[in-house]
DNA sequence: GTAGATGCAAACGCTTTGCCGCTTA
DNA sequence: TAAGCGGCAAAGCGTTTGCATCTAC
């Protein structure tokens, strides 16, 4: 936890992100945090998430359909899977593309990094 | 071109997207279309892009930092490369992941589709 | 006690909608 | 000529900011 002061709100927001199985949207973080801290305002979510993001304690994940989500940092490189049925986003531990970093394509693009999102059906929704 | 009527505005907007080398943002489409049709309003861009998107004549591409862009349909499966220096987005014809579709991960995720964005430096900016 | 955090509401920027005059077919 | 379309301005909506109050330290 970065930030100068520990507050109930910050602890709660961080805990919600910590415990998630995949990246969460601002609305999801708000909703889940409110269960423990009812009056928690949306501005506090934005401010805290921004702070955590700048302190590199959480990472931004943006899905190809434009949704912005956040997940805790330190998970190592991994990819995301979005279920087309239940709409949940899961983390996938393996990355078949690690070899890409540092290579140059035949068109002269130097690849430094990449982000991959897979779509389909999760085990539960098949 | 879908839509019931051919207008100067629609032709221009579609032409801008057609001629682009990579996906364009709404602002870029607006700016470039205005060169030929000066009074063209932003609402027309949004309405036309939405119409083209629904008619499946253009595709939505959303980058991991949350930017929404559009490019003409029918390009076949391909990936995107974003230059960290000049911020342009290019199309990359080859996809090292075509084999993924239809496979199931060991966690039981059935992969139907994927979207990959590469980051680095384009030939010009190295 | 005080700097910093929160909650509320106002401000902001991007996107969408309503309206009316204009244009395409 | 009439339904569709474009331009403008207002409305929406998610995000950010200002400010007074409250709280962690």
DSSP code string of A32-96:
HHHTTSTT--HHHHHHHHHHHHHTTSEEEEE-TTS-EEEEES-S-S-EEEEETTT--EEEES--T
More confident residue, A7 or A89: A7
Q: Are A120 and B111 an interchain contact pair (Cβ–Cβ within 8 Å)? A: yes
Q: Does residue B35 have a pLDDT over 60?
A: yes
Is A47's CB less than 7 Å from nucleic acid strand D? yes
pLDDT grade for B75, boundaries at 50, 70 and 90:
confident
Whole-number Cα distances in Å, B10 to B23, B43, B57, B61:
18, 12, 13, 20
Give chain A positions within 8 Å (CB) of B60.
Answer: 64-66
Cα three-residue angle A49-A54-A60, rounded to 5 degrees? 60
pLDDT grade for B3, boundaries at 50, 70 and 90:
low
Give chain A positions within 8 Å (CB) of B120.
Answer: 109-113
Q: Are A121 and B107 an interchain contact pair (Cβ–Cβ within 8 Å)? A: no
Q: Does residue B72 have a pLDDT over 60?
A: yes
The pTM (predicted TM-score) of the whole model is 0.80
Q: What percent of chain A has pLDDT over 70?
A: 98
* pLDDT tens, residue by residue, B46-65: 999 999 999 999 998 877 77
Cα torsion through B90, B92, B96, B101, rounded to 10: 80
Q: Does residue A14 have a pLDDT over 90?
A: yes
Q: Does residue B126 have a pLDDT over 70?
A: yes
Give chain B positions within 8 Å (CB) of A112.
Answer: 84, 119-121
pLDDT grade for A27, boundaries at 50, 70 and 90:
very high
Residue A1: per-residue pLDDT: 55
Residue A58: per-residue pLDDT: 94
pLDDT grade for B88, boundaries at 50, 70 and 90:
confident
More confident residue, B94 or A14: A14
Mean pLDDT, rounded, of chain A:
89
Question: What Å value separates CA B22 and C1' C3?
Answer: 49
Q: How many helices (H) and strands (E) does chain B have?
A: 3, 5
């Amino acid at each position: 936890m970065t930030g100068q002061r520990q507050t109930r709100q910050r602890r709660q927001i961080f805990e919600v992100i910590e415990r998630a199985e995949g990246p969460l949207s601002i609305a999801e973080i708000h909703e889940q945090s409110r269960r423990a801290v009812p009056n928690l305002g949306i501005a506090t979510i934005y401010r805290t998430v921004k702070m955590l993001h700048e302190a590199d304690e959480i990472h931004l994940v943006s899905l190809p359909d434009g949704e912005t989500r956040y997940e805790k940092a330190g998970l190592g490189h991994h990819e995301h899977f979005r279920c087309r049925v239940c709409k949940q986003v899961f983390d996938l531990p393996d990355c078949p593309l690690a070899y890409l970093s540092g290579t140059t394509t035949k068109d002269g693009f130097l690849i430094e990094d990449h982000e991959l999102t897979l779509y389909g059906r999760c085990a539960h929704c098949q």
